[in-house]
Amino acid sequence: MRRLAVNLSQLGYSVLRFDYRGTGDSAGDLTGVTADDWVEDVEYAIQEAVDMAAVPKVALIGLRLGALVAAKAAKNNNQVSRLLMWDPIVDGSSYLHDIRSTVLEAQNQGSRSRILEPDGTLHFNGFSMPVPFQETLSNLRLNDLATTVSVPIAQIVSHETEAFTSLSYQLSERTDFYYELAPAPHDWNYVDHVGGILWPKPVIDAIATYFDRRGVNA
């Protein structure tokens, strides 16, 4: 994300990256945090970007779960100019189901990662998701949210899935919708024990090109 931010800044954009509450360098942990709190964090970030960069509007770029959260934040926010979704989580409920399945599969292969009892917090590969977050996330669906977002939407994906296709099909009726497939690594659950990292350059380039074509004032 830093590389993307640097590339966009070289195109003339001011870029704000931030960690949701309970993650990264931001305060607290995830105890009691909900997906709605993260939507609120995006709204704070929008206001901060507007204030710091002295711009009337900001574009939102969300990766995976960030795209789903950003779509919710973009709804009815008149300070958002456009929404770009990178490999978006399309359905919160399905996402949770997939995580639980992955945890169970990993357990069968000897992993100690598990769904912690009795409170139901999900733990996998060092990441955790408390019950309130799961409950609020389950209510988020891009197919519902995206149709209510009034600003231009872009969907840039590193691979094809049924969910991506369904979403792009639904949005394709809009004249302000942009879709691009930029094949790149996308195994976001991959954890490397020697510090290897993904480097999805094709998608980063595609996003920069998308913004470059539209210009800073678009």
The residues binding other proteins (CB under 8 A) are: 2, 19, 23-25, 27, 112-113, 116, 123, 125-128, 184-185, 187, 190-201
Least gap, CB of 78 to other proteins (angstroms): 30
In this structure, what DSSP letter does residue 20 have?
P
Contacts of 94 (CB under 8 A, 6+ apart): 163
* CA dist., res. 173 & res. 20, Å (int): 33
Closest CA relative to residue 137, chosen from 86, 89, 87: 89
Contacts of 97 (CB under 8 A, 6+ apart): none
Nearer to other proteins, 194 or 217 (CB): 194
Q: Give the dihedral of Cα atoms 33, 37, 38, 43; nearest 10 deg.
A: -160
* CA dist., res. 62 & res. 85, Å (int): 5
Nearer to other proteins, 106 or 151 (CB): 106
Nearer to other proteins, 24 or 118 (CB): 24
Least gap, CB of 158 to other proteins (angstroms): 10
Nearer to other proteins, 2 or 213 (CB): 2
Least gap, CB of 209 to other proteins (angstroms): 19
Least gap, CB of 9 to other proteins (angstroms): 12
